[in-house]
């Protein structure tokens, strides 16, 4: 069956903040670069997230599940999981989602949750490595190349199968903020939509715990 003959996969994007990675996905979708799927819902842990505005401006349904309304990660994850079932999620994209989810969601959606990390895993990743902290550590170490990684999410932070990576040069006058912006523009906003499209075309396969991209 041709990919165009299959129903579009439902892409659910989880957000907490400004939604720049969500915007990259929306732009790719509007430009016809996401094949075989559509962003069918944006779920936010923060009722004031600007990502919700981005979604609404593009006619994408939204749901708010405030983290503060739940006593712990387990109860919060149960609420998110119920929403994912209700939205018939085929692919879940963590796009600046700042809440740690319980392993129940990973078990319910194995190899169906992806995240973009602002470094070349296995460098500068794992528990506590997020936001500017990643770039601060990269500059402190003196690396000449950094970049971004899109990977599947498993029960260990940033340890899921790597799908795509893109390198970005580190410049002598870089600050964490400058490096963060360059990595977003040159890597994150490119490989995240590309990975989403590959997933929706059924072109990512898992072999011995590693992800491989099938040729056209």
Catalytic residue among 54, 117, 135, 151: 117
Burial of 59 (0-12, 13-18, 19+ CB in 10 A): exposed
Burial of 215 (0-12, 13-18, 19+ CB in 10 A): exposed
Is 151 catalytic? The answer is no
Exposure class string for 90-114: b at 16+ Cβ within 10 A, else e:
bbbbbbbbebebbeebbeebebbbb
Q: Which residues lie closer than 8 Å to 40 by C-beta, 6 or more apart?
A: 10, 11, 12, 60, 61, 87, 88
Catalogue the active-site residues: 117
């Amino acid at each position: 069956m041709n990919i165009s003959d299959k129903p579009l996969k439902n892409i659910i994007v989880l957000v907490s903040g400004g939604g720049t990675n969500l915007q990259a996905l929306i732009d790719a979708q509007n430009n016809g670069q996401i094949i075989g799927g559509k962003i069918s819902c944006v779920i936010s842990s923060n009722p004031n997230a600007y990502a919700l505005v981005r979604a609404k401006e593009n006619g994408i349904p939204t749901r708010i599940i405030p983290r503060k309304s739940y006593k712990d990660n387990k109860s919060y994850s149960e609420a998110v999981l119920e929403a994912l079932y209700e939205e018939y999620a085929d692919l879940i994209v963590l796009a600046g989602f700042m809440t740690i989810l319980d392993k129940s969601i990973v078990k319910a959606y194995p190899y169906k949750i992806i995240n973009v990390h602002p470094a070349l895993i296995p460098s500068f990743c794992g528990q506590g490595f997020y936001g500017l902290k990643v770039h601060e550590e990269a500059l402190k170490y003196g690396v000449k190349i950094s970049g971004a990684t899109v990977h599947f999410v498993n029960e260990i932070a940033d340890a899921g199968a790597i799908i795509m990576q893109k390198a970005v040069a580190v410049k002598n006058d870089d600050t964490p903020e400058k490096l963060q912006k360059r990595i977003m523009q040159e890597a994150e906003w490119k490989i995240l939509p590309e990975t989403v499209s590959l997933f929706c075309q059924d072109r990512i396969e898992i072999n011995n715990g590693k992800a491989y991209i099938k040729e056209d």
